[in-house]
Each structure stands twice: as C-alpha cells, then as structure tokens.
Amino acid sequence: TPTATPSPSKPVQGKPMAGLYIPKLDKHWIVVEGVTQKDIRYAPGHYPKSALPGQIGNFSVAGHRNRATFWRLDELRKGDPIVVESKDAWYVYHVAQTRIVKPSQVEVVAPVPGRPGVKPTEAWLTLTTCNPKFDNYQRLIVHAKLVRTDLKGPGTPRPAELAG
C-alpha cells in the first residue's frame, strides 16, 4: 500500500535542525532550534520564527562571538559562499552584505532583511553575532542570498565541492 510523503516537521527547541558550512573559514556547525542562551551555548541557533533553509524569506541564525562559533565572521566578504544542509538538500548562499548594527535593530532578521512588513520573494540567510569581539554593544550581521539548491541523492557532491 502506498504511503503519504511526510511533510517537513517543525524543528524542536534546542535540537539540531540544519548544518552550516563556511568554506572560507573552514568551519562546520550543527545549527540548533532556538536562540536562548541555553540553545546557543555550544552551537549556532535558528531564530524560531524565521524561514527554514532554502525557503523564501530569511533563514536567520545567531551565534556567540567565540572561537567555537562565529569568531571570524568579520572575515566574510561579498560573494563568499555559505552552505546550509537540510535533511534533503544543500543550499548555497553567497554573501551580499555585512554590516554592524545596534542590538535593537531586529529588522535584520525580518523576512526581507532590513525591511519589516515587506513580503519576501527571495531566499536569504542572515547570520548574527556580537560585535566587537569580547563585547556585545553591537551586532555583526551577514546577509547572504540563495544562489543554488542541490537535492541530495546518489552521487550528491559534498559541501566543499558545492561551494566552488
């Protein structure tokens, strides 16, 4: 008897929900669901109300500015690839902009980055971390735009190959 294809389930608070790979920094992380201090203690966290990887909108991820997480995020430049892995696909984003904002500027994680209330038509990735290093009176923001989706299957390339 045929079975229905399960629809993607909502991520569970504190549980792994995606992979994140930044080739320029040679760093891999497992992204967990949630951005509380407990959630992001050891790993970057997905803002629960933001889009999922590859979806139209803004897949937004917060991480501490420590050596294990987003320490070197300030080295990213326009065009640098960032790869996000879901259960079914690899999503390749290219950095479009990096900027420094105040912690109160939550519009950076709006569905259209920086434009709250505007209906999204593109898929974005936003990474947020404290700035400067060893302090938190600013936020370093990296916005990246989805440029390619590769569904997983036999012979699927690994993230290092995708980023090229």
Catalytically active residues are 64, 130, 139
CA distance 77 to 73: 9
CA–CA–CA angle 161, 16, 160 (5° rounding)? 10
Q: Which pair of structure tokens corresponds to residue 9?
A: 């389930």
Is 21 within 8 Å of 163 (Cβ atoms)? yes
Helix (H) or strand (E) holding 159: helix 159-162
Token output for 10: 């909502």
